[in-house]
């Protein structure tokens, strides 16, 4: 008679045994996995855990503040909020190539994380929210296709370089179980039920060059789109929904004036594991409504399109 409460108690026991009086650091991304891992480990060893949140300036509207206030103010978990926006955005300036963008972000992320860990005086353990499917996937990768479709970003290589051992308390769980565990640990529903968000953040939702202005426009459109999805009661039925700001301007008309502004693409998919996905069949009223709000409320966008590509042949993200 296996329950999440029993899993939690056993996991806490194991973390205590493994860590002893060692120091642990955990990178927070704002996602469900790292959040649940951090709260679980904090229950086990308290302030022997320090979380590091690298703010790369590529988060969505209010996302950074939400993460910081939840962990620091609500849970009282020691948290370093690294303000690395300029570092990342300056490095991305003028870069158009999707793989170079991804690799730049991944490299800076590791360097920043490493610097902060050193400032803390190092740590004995690195905590990660690795799930069972991640474990399986990295095994099959070794014998898998040699073509890299997209370079995913994580802190690979860091534990060896810094001489840290890994703590991965979610290694046996699937995503839905992690959500159950999160609820068991009292994480708010808004956090536990979150749709996945990629490590490189909004950079890969601004195809081509990323600028602060474009990120600003994208954040506003994305927030309106998600607001409409929540209001329609569709958030939990969708694996991921987000806006993409296309590097294309088109002509429009507003009042008696001509406009020449960006195109925003809306994306929403259903999926079980992100490996394959179907585009979400919104009704046209919903889409028309969301488009009208975005065009009326966001300066810089005068046209909205909906992406009806499934995966394969498309990928979920645009880069
Ligand atoms: P694609 O675009 O490859 O995405 O169909 C599949 C899933 O992976 C997410 N994704 C990432 N997640 N780091 C992450 O943590 C990354 O670099 C990354 N790239 C894509 C994507 O949002 C989708 O859920």
Give the residues across from 267 on adjacent strands: 242
Q: What is the mean pLDDT of residues 295-304?
A: 98
**Furthest CA-CA distance within the chain:** 71
Helix (H, G, I), strand (E, B) or coil at 56: coil
**Residue 20 to residue 165: CA distance in whole angstroms:** 13
- The encoded tokens of residue 285 equal 């009223």
**Residue whose CA is closest, atom 22 of ligand 1?**
198
Q: Which tens digits make up the pLDDT trace of 60-86?
A: 999 999 999 999 988 999 999 999 999
Ligand 1 nearest atom to the CA of residue 200, by list position: 17
List ligand 1's pocket residues with C-beta within 6 A: 150, 152-153, 196, 198-200, 240, 274, 311, 315-317
**Residue 130 to residue 164: CA distance in whole angstroms:** 16
Specify the pLDDT at position 136.
Answer: 78
Give the CB-side neighbour count of residue 90, counting CA atoms within 13 A: 5
Specify the pLDDT at position 151.
Answer: 79
Helix (H, G, I), strand (E, B) or coil at 8: helix
Residues 131 and 178: beta-carbon distance below 8 Å: yes
Complex ipTM tops 0.90: yes
Specify the pLDDT at position 38.
Answer: 97
What are phi and psi for residue 124, nearest 5 degrees?
A: -90, -25
**Helix axes of 284-297 and 212-231: crossing angle, nearest 10 degrees:** 140
> How is domain 4-192 classified at the CATH fold level?
Rossmann fold (3.40.50)
What band does 139 get if pLDDT is binned at 50, 70 and 90?
low
Ligand 1 nearest atom to the CA of residue 152, by list position: 17
Residues 173 and 36: beta-carbon distance below 8 Å: no
- CATH class entry, domain 211-306: alpha beta
Give the residues across from 127 on adjacent strands: 26, 167
Distance from the CA of 10 to the center of ligand 1, in angstroms?
Answer: 31
- For residue 210, give every residue at least 6 positions away whose Cβ sits within 8 Å of its Cβ, in sequence order, or none: 58, 89, 92, 93, 95, 101, 202, 203
**Residue 121 to residue 2: CA distance in whole angstroms:** 40
Question: Over pLDDT 70: what percentage of the chain?
Answer: 96
> Where is 305: in which H helix or E strand?
strand 301-306
Residue 141 has pLDDT above 70, yes or no: no
What band does 1 get if pLDDT is binned at 50, 70 and 90?
low
Which of 105-109, 156-160, 303-307, 313-317 shows the lowest mean pLDDT across its residues?
156-160
Q: What is the mean pLDDT of residues 272-281?
A: 94
Q: Which tens digits make up the pLDDT trace of 85-124?
A: 999 999 999 999 999 999 999 999 999 999 999 999 999 9
**Residue 98 to residue 102: CA distance in whole angstroms:** 6
> Where is 19: in which H helix or E strand?
helix 4-19
Q: What is the mean pLDDT of residues 243-261?
A: 96
Mutate to test the pocket of ligand 1, among 103, 106, 198, 207 (most ligand atoms within 8 A of CB): 198
Query: Start-end ranges of CATH 3.40.50.620 in the chain?
Result: 4-192
Residue 226 has pLDDT above 80, yes or no: yes
**Residue whose CA is closest, atom 21 of ligand 1?**
198
pTM for this structure? 0.92
**Helix axes of 4-19 and 32-45: crossing angle, nearest 10 degrees:** 60
Query: Start-end ranges of CATH 3.30.300.10 in the chain?
Result: 211-306
């Amino acid at each position: 008679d296996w329950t999440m409460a029993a899993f939690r108690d056993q996991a806490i026991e194991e973390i205590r045994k493994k860590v002893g009086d060692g120091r642990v650091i955990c990178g927070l991304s704002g996602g469900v996995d790292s959040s649940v891992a951090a709260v679980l480990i904090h229950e086990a060893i308290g302030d022997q855990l320090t979380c590091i949140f690298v703010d790369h300036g590529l988060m969505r509207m209010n996302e950074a503040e939400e993460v910081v206030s939840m962990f620091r103010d609500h849970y009282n978990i020691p948290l370093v909020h690294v303000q690395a926006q300029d570092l990342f955005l300056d490095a991305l300036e003028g870069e158009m190539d999707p793989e170079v963008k991804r690799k730049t972000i991944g490299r800076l992320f590791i360097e920043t994380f490493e610097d902060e860990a050193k400032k803390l005086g190092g740590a004995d353990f690195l905590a990660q929210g690795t799930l069972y499917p991640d474990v399986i996937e990295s095994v099959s990768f070794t014998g898998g296709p040699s073509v890299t479709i997209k370079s995913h970003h994580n802190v690979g290589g860091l534990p060896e370089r810094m001489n840290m051992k890994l703590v991965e308390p979610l290694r046996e769980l699937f995503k839905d179980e992690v959500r159950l565990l999160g609820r068991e640990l009292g994480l708010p529903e808004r956090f536990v039920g979150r749709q996945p968000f990629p490590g490189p953040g909004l950079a890969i939702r601004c195809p081509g060059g990323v600028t602060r202005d474009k990120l600003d426009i994208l954040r506003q459109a994305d927030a309106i789109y998600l607001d409409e999805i929540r209001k329609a009661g569709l958030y939990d039925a969708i694996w991921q929904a987000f806006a993409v700001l296309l590097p294309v301007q088109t002509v429009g008309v507003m009042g008696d004036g001509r406009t020449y502004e960006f195109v925003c693409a809306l994306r929403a998919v259903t999926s079980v594991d992100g490996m394959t996905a179907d585009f979400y069949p919104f009704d046209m009223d919903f889409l028309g409504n969301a488009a009208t709000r975005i065009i009326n409320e966001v300066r810089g966008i005068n046209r909205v399109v909906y992406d009806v590509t499934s995966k394969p042949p498309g990928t979920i993200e645009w880069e």
